[in-house]
Chain A
Amino acid sequence: MKIHQAGIAGTLESSDITIHIEENEGKGIEIQLKSTVLNQFGNQIRHVIQETLQELGITDVLVRATDKGALDCTIRARLLTAVSRATHSSCFPWEVK
Chain B
Amino acid sequence: MWYGNFREQTINLQLPEEKYRLLAFLERQGLALDGNVEYAVAVMDGEKMAASGALDGRVLKCIAVDEAYKNSGLSAKVVSHLISEAYEKQRTHLFVYTKPENKAIFSELGFYAIAEVPSKVVLMENRPDGIKRYIETLAKENGSKADSAAVVVNCNPFTLGHRYLIEYAASRCQRLHVFVLWEDRSSFPAEIRYRLVKEGTRHLSNVVLHQGKDYIISDATFPSYFIKTYQELVETHAKLDLEIFSRYIAPALGIRKRFVGEEPYCKVTAAYNAIMKALLPVHGIEVEVVPRKLADGEAISASRVRELIRSEKLQEVRTLVPETTYSFLLSEEAQEIIRQIRSGSRRH
Q: Which A residues are within 8 Å of any B CB, using their own CB? A: 6, 8, 10-14, 18, 20, 22, 32, 34, 36, 64, 66, 68
| Contacts known (A6-B87, A32-B127); A20 close to B92, Cβ less than 8 A | yes
Q: Which B residues are within 8 Å of any A CB, using their own CB? A: 1, 73, 76-77, 79-80, 83-84, 87, 90, 92, 107-110, 126-129
Contact present for A18 and B92 (CB under 8 Å): no
Contact present for A12 and B87 (CB under 8 Å): no
Contact present for A13 and B109 (CB under 8 Å): no
Q: Which of B76, B84, B126 contacts A13 (CB 8 A)?
A: B76
Q: Which of B79, B80, B92 contacts A6 (CB 8 A)?
A: B92
A-B CB contact pairs (8 Å), 30 listed? A6-B87, A6-B90, A6-B92, A8-B84, A8-B87, A8-B92, A11-B76, A11-B77, A11-B80, A12-B77, A12-B80, A12-B83, A12-B108, A12-B109, A12-B110, A13-B1, A13-B73, A13-B76, A13-B77, A13-B80, A14-B76, A18-B83, A20-B126, A34-B107, A36-B108, A64-B127, A64-B128, A66-B109, A66-B110, A68-B76
Contact present for B76 and A22 (CB under 8 Å): no
**Residues on the A chain within 8 Å of B76, using CB:** 11-14, 68
Contact present for B92 and A32 (CB under 8 Å): no
Which residue of chain A has its CB nearest to the CB of B86? A8
Q: Which of B77, B83, B109, B127 contacts A8 (CB 8 A)?
A: B83
Q: Please, how many angstroms separate the alpha-carbon atoms of A86 and B127 in the complex?
A: 18
**Residues on the B chain within 8 Å of A20, using CB:** 92, 126
Min distance, Cβ A25 to any Cβ of chain B, angstroms: 15
**Residues on the A chain within 8 Å of B108, using CB:** 12, 36, 68
Q: Which of B79, B110, B128 has the most CB of A within 10 A?
A: B110
Min distance, Cβ B104 to any Cβ of chain A, angstroms: 12
Q: Please, how many angstroms separate the alpha-carbon atoms of A64 and B130 in the complex?
A: 12
**Residues on the B chain within 8 Å of A18, using CB:** 80, 83, 110
Q: Please, how many angstroms separate the alpha-carbon atoms of A64 and B90 in the complex?
A: 16
Q: Which of A12, A13, A32 contacts B128 (CB 8 A)?
A: A32
Q: Please, how many angstroms separate the alpha-carbon atoms of A7 and B158 in the complex?
A: 38
Min distance, Cβ A31 to any Cβ of chain B, angstroms: 11
Q: What 10 A-B pairs are tightest by C-beta distance, nearest first? A: A66-B110, A11-B80, A12-B76, A6-B92, A12-B80, A13-B76, A8-B87, A12-B109, A32-B128, A13-B73
